[in-house]
């Protein structure tokens, strides 16, 4: 799961998409605990608190969060069989990301909403 999260953060086209990735993970948790109303309420409260805390952040603040997460995951190279099979990972566990002409770490131009424009 760590490598899947790292891969999803790496592929976020806009910094604020990190919040959407988090919501997707919480939706998956809700599917697992749908029979436990107490836990389901806690997950719903987590949704509410995430929106309250992170919903108003700027694209720059989300970019800082994204960079912080990627630095944290930088030295984690856990091999995942499905990633290896799909050639998303090398045999040493490093992710292989194809960016259609864009390279990781190269500055990109974004409009005020965070959408990539160049």
At 91 the pLDDT is 84
Rounded Cα–Cα distance for residues 36 and 39 (Å):
6
Read off the pTM.
0.65
For the chain, the maximum distance between any two Cα atoms, rounded to a whole number of angstroms, is 47
Q: What is the block-wise mean pLDDT of the chain (118 residues), using blocks of 10 residues? A: 81 87 91 94 96 93 92 82 82 73 60 68
Residue 3: count of CB within 10 angstroms of its CB: 19
* 85 token code pair: 């099979």
Domain boundary assignment for the chain: 2-77
């Amino acid at each position: 799961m760590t490598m899947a999260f790292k891969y999803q953060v790496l592929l976020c086209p806009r910094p604020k998409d990190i919040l959407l990735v988090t919501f997707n993970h919480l939706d998956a948790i809700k599917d697992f605990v749908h029979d436990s109303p107490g836990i389901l309420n806690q997950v719903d409260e987590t949704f509410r608190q995430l929106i309250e805390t992170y919903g108003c952040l700027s694209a720059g603040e989300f970019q800082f969060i994204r960079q912080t997460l990627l630095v944290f995951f930088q030295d984690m190279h856990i091999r995942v069989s499905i990633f290896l099979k799909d050639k998303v990972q090398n045999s040493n566990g490093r992710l292989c990301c194809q960016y259609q002409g864009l390279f990781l770490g190269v500055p990109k131009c974004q409009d005020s909403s965070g959408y990539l424009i160049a």
